[in-house]
């Protein structure tokens, strides 16, 4: 602990004794204030205990699983998915497991894999209303009255109609890259994706280095170019796909 001040302030040559006496008298009070502050800090820390291990482990494993899926690493994706499931199973909370499964299905949808979300469907009865609404959104069967249950970034896309400009604006307003890709996929599945939607999806996947959705969306653009007879554009897209696949000129 610091010793109480005993030296007079040199700027006041007179009255040095009174300064020392006043400082010494205030020192116990200062100590009490410091002790009180420290107790408050300790109490604040104690009122926010660290989250349990399973919660941290499940969160990290789920995030790694999605990242591995988007990058095209199926082995790591499977390992981390099982780890997340195992951690949540310790709690007996089917609603939490349903949320993890839904997150995986969202990553698949972002990669234009429109398959039934079977793992979530098996847990649907125990899932919360927002999760059920999001599953319906991914499956292009969301009811209008459930739009308010969606995450806010997705609501404008879900509520939009055939207006391309409105859909583009809603898509560009989504800041999170994965949420933006999911919204683009929903528009695509509903037949509301114009060329700008496809371009936004390609740019989003490319900027994140997400190999799986990038290949899917490049494939969509390639089919459009082939159908339009745009041979040069089709060749450019094939070269880009080869590069993503690791079969570009540098790898040959």
Dump pLDDT digits (tens) for 98-120.
999 999 999 999 999 999 999 99
Count of Cβ atoms closer than 10 Å to residue 229 Cβ: 8
Question: Would you state the structure tokens that stand for residue 174, as one six-digit string?
Answer: 């989504």
Region 197-223: mean pLDDT is: 97
Question: Would you state the structure tokens that stand for residue 21, as one six-digit string?
Answer: 């006496």
Region 68-94: mean pLDDT is: 96
User: pLDDT averaged over the chain?
Assistant: 84
Q: Are the beta carbons of 69 and 104 closer than 8 angstroms?
A: yes
Task: Write down the pLDDT at residue 11.
Answer: 42
Region 143-158: mean pLDDT is: 92
Region 32-38: mean pLDDT is: 49
Q: Is the pLDDT of residue 163 over 80?
A: no
pTM for the model stands at 0.77
Q: Is the pLDDT of residue 4 over 50?
A: no
More confident residue, 48 or 244: 244
Domain ranges of the chain: 93-245
CA distance 85 to 98: 10
């Amino acid at each position: 602990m610091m010793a109480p001040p005993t030296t007079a302030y040199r700027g006041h040559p007179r009255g040095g004794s009174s300064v020392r006496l006043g400082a010494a008298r205030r020192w116990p009070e200062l100590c009490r204030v410091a002790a009180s502050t420290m107790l408050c800090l300790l109490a604040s820390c104690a009122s926010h205990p660290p989250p349990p291990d399973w919660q941290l482990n499940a969160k990290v494993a789920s995030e790694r699983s999605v990242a591995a899926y988007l990058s095209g690493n199926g082995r790591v994706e499977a390992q981390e998915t099982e780890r997340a499931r195992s951690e949540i199973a310790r709690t007996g909370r089917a609603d939490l497991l349903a949320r993890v499964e839904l997150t995986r299905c969202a990553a698949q949808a972002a990669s234009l894999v429109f398959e039934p979300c079977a793992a979530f469907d098996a847990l649907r009865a125990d899932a919360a209303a927002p999760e059920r609404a999001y599953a319906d959104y991914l499956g292009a069967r969301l009811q209008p009255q459930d739009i308010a249950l969606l995450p806010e970034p997705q609501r404008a896309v879900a509520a939009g109609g055939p207006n391309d400009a409105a859909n583009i604006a809603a898509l560009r307003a989504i800041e999170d890259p994965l949420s933006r890709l999911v919204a683009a996929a929903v528009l695509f599945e509903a037949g509301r994706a114009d060329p700008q939607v496809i371009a936004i999806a390609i740019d989003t996947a490319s900027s994140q280095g997400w190999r799986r959705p990038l290949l899917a969306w490049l494939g969509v653009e390639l089919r459009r170019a082939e159908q339009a007879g745009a041979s040069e554009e089709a060749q450019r897209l094939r070269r880009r796909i080869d590069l993503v696949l690791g079969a570009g000129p540098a790898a040959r």
